[in-house]
Chains A and B, each alone.
Chain A
């Protein structure tokens, strides 16, 4: 409950609470799949695949996986140091989901793949396959090259941050 999408999650205080995410899976299900805490896993859908770290828990339905999405950020963005864990360990599920529903032959208009009431992306009916990575396959994937700094950004970041009364 402590995270809501990417907006302002780069905040100096909020990222002390959460600066990277894991893929959460029911512990019993993970045991059946011979997966354990901290394992690197491939997550595949009809649309794409990602590699990320698994974390097991009790409080998730046995056939559902979840994560705090949008903690993951491209290196060099959001004013963070390129080695920030948002870039080195955080990941996005977005590579797994299509933005549009399949084209309907009777309707030229492509419909957005989202909940018709809330507009939330249709994660609820996205089916994924989770499998253990081969030995040596570690680290998040895909990874993109660090973004170029914005004009005028010379990379200075305060090492200590204090507000004064």
Chain B
């Protein structure tokens, strides 16, 4: 199994619901323990998040586009964050999920340096590293309805821009949509074989002005007329 996420950059509106839903589920999860927030009501609030959303603009007005870009653990097939861990706390499961054993982690930060996606967060209170668990404590929970056995971020997304599944199964939704839409992994050149995939924004249809419309119409008429002319 190769479990991971698909994130659709075409439909993501950058609302941060994935980030807050993740925090809500994982802040009281037994996998990582509480996720600390520091100075939450002060001048510079900060804290531990597994999912962060960046916002970018590409192109110049009016040919511009806003890209909302959620990033969390890619659950790499060749995860250096696991290889560099000196205590064996960081490990990869048979289903592909990368986890940190909180009882073995000594907070040395090596895995955070190894991860090019910034997906690891040191919790300063216990002094241990924490990260996305792909909601391992949801996805196998048979007490939940089958449709709820998905990561919290996927369930929360209001535009269905996130999908969860097994990339080893070519018939899974994540495999099919990745093939159809040209899904790509981030920074493949680094060789960590990230599993999660991003779907590129689709090209918007050009806005047609009066001159374009006339030209199109003329071309359209010409195409209709040409077979007659050729004969």
A interface with B by C-beta (< 8 Å): 1-2, 10, 12-17, 19, 26-28, 57-60, 62, 79-81, 83-85, 88, 157-165
Contact = CB atoms under 8 A, between A and B. Distances in A.
Given A2-B15, A161-B40, A162-B36, 6 more contacts: A12-B37, A13-B20, A84-B42, A157-B41, A159-B42, A162-B37
Contacts of B45: 12, 15-16, 19
Interface in B1-49: 13-16, 19-20, 23, 27-30, 33-47, 49
B13 A10 contact: no
A148 B112 CA distance: 44
A17 B66 contact: no
17 contacts: A1-B68, A10-B41, A12-B37, A12-B40, A16-B37, A17-B19, A28-B60, A28-B61, A58-B64, A59-B65, A81-B42, A88-B43, A161-B40, A162-B37, A163-B28, A163-B34, A165-B28
B212 interface: no
B41 A81 contact: yes
Contact of A58 (B41, B43, B60): B60
Interface residues of B, number: 37
Contact of B16 (A17, A27, A62): A17
Contact of B34 (A14, A84, A165): A165
A56 B59 CA distance: 14
A58 B46 contact: no
Judged by DSSP, the binding face of B is loop
A163 B27 contact: yes
A160 B64 contact: no
A162 B66 contact: no
Given A16-B37, A162-B125, A163-B28, A26 B61 contact: yes
